[in-house]
Amino acid sequence: MTKADLDQLKLERLMLNSRRTFLTGSSAALAAAFFGSTEVAAAAAGSKKFSRPTDQPLATLPPQFPARAKRVIYLHMAGAPSQLDLFDYKPELAKRDGQDTPLSFLEGKNFAFLTGIPKLMGPQYPFKQYGSSGAWFSDRLPHLAEHADKICFIKSMHTDQFNHAPAQMLALTGQSRFGYPSMGSWISYGLGTENQNLPGYVVMLSGASAPRGGKQLWGSGFLPSVYQGVQCRSQGEPVLFLDNPDNVSSAIRRQVLDTLNEINQSSYREFMDQETLTRIAQYEMSFRMQAEASDVFDISQESEKTRVAYGADPQSESFGKNCLIARRLVERGVRFVQLFDMDWDSHGQDEASSLKHNFKNLCHGIDRPIAALLSDLEERGLLEDTLVVWGSEFGRTPMKEEANGQKTPWIGRDHNPSAFTVWMAGAGVKGGYTHGSTDEMGYEVADDPVSLADFHATILYLLGYNHHDLSVHFQGLDQRLTGVHHPRIISQILA
């Protein structure tokens, strides 16, 4: 069988699998996805580059192609959790625990902190297989493990940045440098948002610090600022400047807005400036947003049972509370919800960064909330068209980190850009499936490497976009989330 024959067969199977979703006009998109060639894609699809009417910055637009996913909840574990102690089970590494790292692992490598010849370190927690798919989980995520058959793992992610800030930017904006729009911005730009009374792209943080990549992780780069993620807080005013000043009642505000509308109408009659009409509409929207945003962030409306399942306490900030709010947001049509959970940088330099210590609390902090989120989305029928993504900026080394050769009770691993694990669940992805693998030490990708560009292109694909076409001309180039790369859609993970 020639390669062309094989490709043809694979294509047919892919189309068969996806027939349910792609009834019309889809073969070109699939071909593009399959061949991963942008030239072929554009030619085959005969599609035009995306452009959005400037006067409707957030209006809902149909995707380029019919899509399974309508919205995204993206869970980023900032600092990089150890995949070797959560999902990527390596029995051979366990056997070689304490041995010197082979020199071949160290040659030509840059590390953030490792020096000299470090020791290999096996998994720190027992692993077991779960679900009918037999996916591996360590005992740190028992509740999530119950959802093994909903989850699609990619264990062969790799990146080329080994410091947090640039790696986070690369993971979330497609570039390791400043000035580029984040994934959520691109998606809001492409699809708009379904609920005009709420920001279309919401970001929430949990944990003791803020992500090192800073606000550019949800920034709009060279896209208009209306596409930047709106950082919301689960305590106090959820959206900045949302609440009326103390002595202004909603009734007075209404009166002010009515008067303002009259005056602005007369400006419009004089200047016939379309922007004036937009402004009138935006003032009205701000009024509705005040009601709706306060409502969506009010988790006291949820049953006690639900709040307990998420581990969400109305009185304090937590990842669990953010997960519950994320569900409430997507339920109301928010396009992209991005949660950052902090402090996963397990170097083992102190208790907070030790795999045997604070790491347990961190795992505990996400285990029930994510499990509850997946159940809740499923029960409400939202998992059908909501894509849940769990990931980070890189992985961690199979080598034990000892700063300057010092002996401490703390245990940690250094940054590993060569291999890490992410997972997806929900709209359009295969549950109970694992794509790609690492070598027996979990150090390098062994099979089916997936770059961040591939990963981004696949997410855009699930949302109905050929990554190549969602572009904006800036600084002499057609800029895209996937930059100048030629990514491949990870067709194997598509349901």
Please list every residue from 233 through 272 that binds other proteins, using CB under 8 A. 233, 236-237, 239-245, 247, 249, 251-253, 255-256, 258-260, 262-264, 266-268, 270-272
Length of the chain: 495
232-248 as b/e: b if 16+ CB within 10 A: bebeeebbeeeeeeeee
Alpha helices in 418-451 (DSSP H): none
Q: Is 199 in the site for other proteins (CB under 8 A)?
A: yes
Q: Is 35 in the site for other proteins (CB under 8 A)?
A: no
Site for other proteins in 152-191 (CB under 8 A): 162-165, 177-179
Q: Among 114, 187, 339, 422, which residue interacts with other proteins (rule: CB under 8 A)?
A: 114
135 SS3 class: strand
Q: Is 486 in the site for other proteins (CB under 8 A)?
A: no
Q: Which stretch binds other proteins (CB under 8 A): 66-74, 107-115, 419-427, 443-451?
A: 107-115
Neighbours of 488 (CB within 10 A): 17
Q: Is 205 in the site for other proteins (CB under 8 A)?
A: yes
As a whole number of Å, the end-to-end CA separation of the chain is 26
Site for other proteins in 40-59 (CB under 8 A): 40, 43, 51, 53-54, 57
Site for other proteins in 367-426 (CB under 8 A): 403-407, 415
Q: Is residue 279 within 8 Å of 267, Cβ to Cβ?
A: no
> Residue 435 pairs with which residues in a beta bridge?
154
CA 109 – CA 122 distance, rounded (Å): 21
Q: Which stretch binds other proteins (CB under 8 A): 16-24, 86-94, 222-230, 459-467?
A: 222-230
Q: Among 56, 99, 282, 301, which residue interacts with other proteins (rule: CB under 8 A)?
A: 282
CA 282 – CA 268 distance, rounded (Å): 15
Site for other proteins in 75-104 (CB under 8 A): 103
Q: Among 181, 184, 207, 426, which residue interacts with other proteins (rule: CB under 8 A)?
A: 207
Q: Among 66, 94, 149, 279, which residue interacts with other proteins (rule: CB under 8 A)?
A: 279
Q: Look up residue 301 and give its two tokens.
A: 């409306």
Q: Is 275 in the site for other proteins (CB under 8 A)?
A: yes
Q: Is 133 in the site for other proteins (CB under 8 A)?
A: no
CA 252 – CA 247 distance, rounded (Å): 9
Q: Considering CB under 8 A, how many residues would be counted as binding other proteins?
A: 92
- Minimum CB separation of residue 311 from other proteins in Å reads 20
Q: Is 60 in the site for other proteins (CB under 8 A)?
A: no
Which among 411, 408, 436 is positioned nearest to 421, based on CA atoms? Answer: 436
Q: Look up residue 460 and give its two tokens.
A: 């855009």
- Minimum CB separation of residue 345 from other proteins in Å reads 10
Q: Outline where DSSP puts E strands in 133-187.
A: 135-138, 151-157
Which among 380, 385, 411, 390 is positioned nearest to 319, based on CA atoms? Answer: 390
Q: Which stretch binds other proteins (CB under 8 A): 286-294, 389-397, 444-452, 458-466?
A: 286-294
Q: Is 128 in the site for other proteins (CB under 8 A)?
A: no
Question: What's 101's DSSP letter?
Answer: P
Q: Is 112 in the site for other proteins (CB under 8 A)?
A: yes
Cβ proximity to other proteins: between 8 and 278 the closer is 278
Neighbours of 403 (CB within 10 A): 15
Q: Is residue 319 within 8 Å of 341, Cβ to Cβ?
A: yes
